[in-house]
Amino acid sequence: MGLTTRSLEVLGAFDPDHPVLTLAEVSRRTGVPLTTTHRIVTELLAWGALERRPDGALQIGLRLWQVASVAPRGPSLREVALPFLEDLYVATRENVQLAVRDGHEAVFLERLAGRGSVRVLTRVGDHFALHATGVGLVLLAFAPREVQEEVLAEPLRAWTAYTITDPAVLRRTLAEIRRTGVAISDRQVTEDAVSVASPVRGPDGDVVAALSVVVRHGGVAPASLVPAVLAGATGISRALGAPRPRPLSGARRDPDRPSAHRNGP
């Protein structure tokens, strides 16, 4: 393992559950010897990727945040989308989320939550499996076919009794999402939450992100949220320069399209 890889391992030791670590904890979480960890941390401190707190513990530095801020799928997308997320939150007073795909996972770029909103497991910066959340289902439905097949071939983890774990059901669900432009994840991550999501498109028309509203199961009817979510996703897409969508009525039938819409077992 080269020094660059080990430096990335050291930075990767920090996550939302471990934002502050001691030198020994970094060494233990990465498996990098303590002496090597000390040398890497010293260099990262000098560059600004890490900062030392008054108590001697380590945390991610502002220099790393400044570098990350130029990532085109991160802060710039978030800045364009944020006014639409805020409008959607004002209209619903529910959890509003924006996510992008990173390999076989969704990464959450932003989340707005009301005081009385249902609890969700995700936070900004979190990675989550694609097959369970509303945004994840959207991102998977519009991912390249090879990515879909790879996910379908993997064991599909269940968070609740409602999580889709049957590849055949997931395949039909993805086809329906491509047809309608909407995903409804009903109690697939927690048994008290329902997510309604729609794709966000970039200048070339490809799906670059997904927008969702997460509500308490048994409260607001998911179907009633669809127009607002579609409007928000369309607004972000247009702000990104996406072409106007083609009418669904003239679209070619998806070979995976199911006979009935169902985003859960």
Give the pLDDT confidence of 172-196 residue by residue, as tens digits: 999 999 999 999 999 998 888 899 9
Asked if pLDDT for residue 229 goes beyond 60, the answer is yes
pLDDT given for residue 148 in this prediction: 96
Task: Categorize the per-residue pLDDT at 123 as very low, low, confident or very high, splitting at 50, 70 and 90.
Answer: confident
Model confidence at 141: pLDDT above 90: yes
Region 130-148 average pLDDT: 95
What separation, in Å, do the N-terminal and C-terminal C-alpha atoms of the chain show?
44
Long-range pairs for 60-69 at CB < 8 Å and ≥24 separation?
A: 60/11, 60/14, 60/19, 64/11
Domains (ranges, CATH) in the chain? 3-68 (1.10.10.10), 75-250 (3.30.450.40)
Q: What is the per-residue pLDDT for 72?
A: 54
Q: Which SS3 state, helix, strand or coil, does residue 96 take? A: strand
pLDDT above 50 for 250: no
Report the chain's mean pLDDT, rounded to a whole number: 85
Least confident of 24-38, 55-69, 139-153: 55-69
| Model confidence at 260: pLDDT above 50 | no
- Residues 6 or more apart whose CB falls under 8 angstroms from that of 3 comprise 40
pLDDT for residue 223 is more than 80:
yes
The whole-angstrom separation of Cα 213 and Cα 92 is: 8
The rounded Cα 116 to chain-centroid distance in angstroms is: 22
Mean pLDDT of all residues in 208-212: 94
- Report the distance separating Cα 166 and Cα 187, nearest Å: 16
pLDDT of the residue at 41? 93
Q: What is the number of other CB atoms lying within 10 angstroms of the CB of residue 39?
A: 15
Residues 65-113 pLDDT 10s: 667 655 555 557 888 899 999 999 888 888 899 999 988 999 888 888 8
State mean pLDDT over 136-147: 96
Residue 139 to residues 3, 164, 214: CA-CA distances in angstroms?
A: 34, 16, 16
Rg for the chain (alpha carbons), in Å?
20
Query: What average pLDDT does this structure show over 211-228?
Result: 89
- pLDDT tens, residue by residue, 5-48: 888 889 989 887 788 999 999 999 999 999 999 999 999 999 98
Q: Is the pLDDT of residue 142 over 90?
A: yes
Residue that has been written with the tokens 């055949």 in this structure: 168
